Amino acid sequence: MTETTLSHPENREPTAFTQEELGWLPWLEPFPTEQLTERHWAGLVDASRAKSPYFLLLARDPDILQARTKTDKDIFYNTSNGLPRSERELTATATSRSNGCIFCASVHSRFATQYSKRGADVQRLLDEGVEADIDIRWNAIIEASVALTDTPIAFGDEQVGALRAAGLGDPEIVDVINGAAFFNWANRLMLSLGEPTPPAKP
């Protein structure tokens, strides 16, 4: 049996960064829902993820999906100490903006807005790009995320110094590193296994 890719000639891919809710279409066949075993369900972590073609595609290798999802959740949702949730979402948005993941940036810019209540500042990051001059603290977090996203990695004493000058201690800096590093994982999967679809018309 020869497997093939899936194509979506009718889809009009979004051409700009947005905080609106986008969809996503896979380029490879997701795992068939009716064949999910206990191991696949464990990989999906939340049963509701079986509705997502992205997670169903990743469920083809369930063990790495499970570990990936648990890593993700702790980095972003465990808000005991460290960076506020809004600024973790900022690392995700800045990383996605730098790599060029329109879908990932849409999800995490919405979260950044929801938790920071600074939708206009978040929109400037999307519209003007990672060079947007917002304020000392956000600039330092964005610049650190972008330096971590560069290959070869450009993150060094300069970025740590700027983060410290902006009031971040080591626990917060570890969260910046984890958040930006994790989105270098997420962006590569989202960008390379499928394509975004435009927001649903109201």
Partner 1 sequence: MSTIISDVIDHLAGVQPGSSLDRLRDQRPQARENAQKSYLALFEPELPGHVTAIERYAVATFVAGLHRQPNVTEFYAASLERLGHPRLTDAIRGEIARGSVEGPYGRYPQGPLTIEDKEGSVYQVSTDNRERLGSRLAAALEHAHLLVFHPRDASPAALQRLLDAGWSTTDIVTLSQLVAFLSFQIRVVAGLRVLVGASSRASVDADQTQIFTGVLASGAV
User: Closest CB to partner 1 among 33 and 81?
Assistant: 81
* Neighbouring C-beta atoms of residue 63, cutoff 10 Å: 10
Asked if 15 interacts with partner 1 (CB under 8 A), we say yes
**Which is nearer to partner 1, 3 or 117 (by Cβ)?**
3
d(CA 157, CA 121) in angstroms, rounded, equals 27
Give the residue from 117, 94, 119, 118 showing the smallest Cα distance to 105. Answer: 94
Among 58, 125, 132, 168, binds partner 1 (CB under 8 A): 58
Minimum distance from residue 117 beta carbon to partner 1 (Å): 25
* Nearest distance, CB of residue 195 and partner 1, angstroms: 9
CB of 159 to partner 1, least distance (A): 8
Please give the span between the terminal C-alpha atoms of the chain, in angstroms, as a whole number. Answer: 42
* Residue 131 exposed, middle or buried by CB count within 10 Å (0-12, 13-18, 19+): exposed
Q: Does 37 bind partner 1 (CB under 8 A)?
A: no
By CB under 8 A, tell whether 171 contacts partner 1.
yes
Query: Is 177 an interacting residue with respect to partner 1 (CB under 8 A)?
Result: yes
Quick one: DSSP state of residue 80?
A: S
The sign of the torsion formed by the CA atoms of 42, 45, 49, 55 equals negative
d(CA 184, CA 10): 29
Smaller CB distance to partner 1: residue 32 or 117?
A: 32
Which parts of this chain interact with partner 1 (CB under 8 A)?
2-7, 13-17, 27-29, 57-58, 60-61, 63-68, 70-71, 73-75, 78, 80-82, 98-102, 129, 148-153, 155-157, 159-160, 170-171, 173-175, 177-178, 180-182, 184-189, 191-193
